[in-house]
C-alpha cells in the first residue's frame, strides 16, 4: 500500500495545501475513491494516526483522499480561502489527474467527522450527481444553509 503526502499550490485557497492519499496494492488502472474529511480540531493525518484506515484501504481496494482544510468548515470565505471550492472542484480534478482514481459517480464517496461530516453532507447535497454515498460521523449539520 502507498501512503502519499502531497503539497500543492491551490488557486482556491490562495496558498499551499496538503493532502494525504492512500492507495491499495497492487496498483490498478482505477480505484473507487473515498474523500475522508477531518474534524475541527484535527488535520489530514488524523485518520491514519487514530484509525485503521490503512487496513481498510487494502482490504476493500479503495483509494482514500484526505485534504487539510484547517478550521475552514469546508466553506468559501467571503474574503479568504475558498475551502468548499477546493474540496468540491480543485481537489477531485487534481487527484484524478495524478492518481489511478475513478471519476465515475458510482465509485465516488465522501465521509467526515464532526466539521468533516458537515463538509461531506454539504458536498453530497450540493452535488448529488458526483457522489454515490455520503456519511457524516457526529456531523455538525446546518440543514437550513
**CB distance 118 to 83 below 8 Å:** no
**CB distance 8 to 16 below 8 Å:** yes
Asked whether residue 67 carries a pLDDT value surpassing 60, the answer given is yes
Q: How far is CA 126 from the centre of its chain?
A: 15
pLDDT band at 140 (very low <50, low <70, confident <90, very high): confident
The Cβ of residue 108 has, within 10 Å, a number of other Cβ atoms equal to 22
- What is the spatial distance between Cα 76 and Cα 72, in angstroms, rounded to a whole number? 8
Q: Where are the alpha helices (DSSP H) in 43-132?
A: 46-50, 53-60, 83-85, 91-98, 115-126
Which domains does the chain possess? Answer: 2-137 (3.40.50.1820)
**CB distance 104 to 96 below 8 Å:** no
The residue-averaged pLDDT of 120-140 equals 96
Q: What is the DSSP letter of 115?
A: H
pLDDT of 141 reads 78
pLDDT of 143 reads 59
Q: How far is CA 110 from the centre of its chain?
A: 7
- What is the spatial distance between Cα 86 and Cα 89, in angstroms, rounded to a whole number? 6
Q: CA angle 81-85-91, nearest 5°?
A: 105
What average pLDDT is seen over the chain? 95
Amino acid at each position: 500500500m502507498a501512503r502519499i503526502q502531497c503539497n500543492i499550490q491551490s488557486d482556491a485557497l490562495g496558498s499551499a495545501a496538503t493532502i494525504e492519499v492512500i492507495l491499495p496494492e497492487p496498483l490498478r488502472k482505477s480505484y473507487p475513491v473515498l474523500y475522508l474529511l477531518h474534524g475541527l480540531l484535527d488535520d489530514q493525518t488524523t485518520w491514519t494516526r487514530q484509525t485503521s484506515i490503512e487496513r481498510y484501504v487494502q482490504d476493500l481496494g479503495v483509494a482514500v483522499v484526505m485534504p487539510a482544510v484547517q478550521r475552514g468548515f469546508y466553506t468559501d470565505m467571503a474574503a479568504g480561502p475558498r475551502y468548499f471550492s477546493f474540496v468540491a472542484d480543485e481537489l477531485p480534478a487534481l487527484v484524478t489527474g495524478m492518481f489511478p482514481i475513478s471519476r465515475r459517480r458510482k465509485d465516488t464517496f465522501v465521509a467526515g467527522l464532526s466539521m468533516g461530516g458537515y463538509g461531506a453532507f454539504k458536498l453530497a447535497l450540493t452535488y448529488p450527481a458526483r457522489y454515490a454515498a455520503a456519511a457524516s460521523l457526529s456531523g455538525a449539520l446546518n440543514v437550513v444553509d
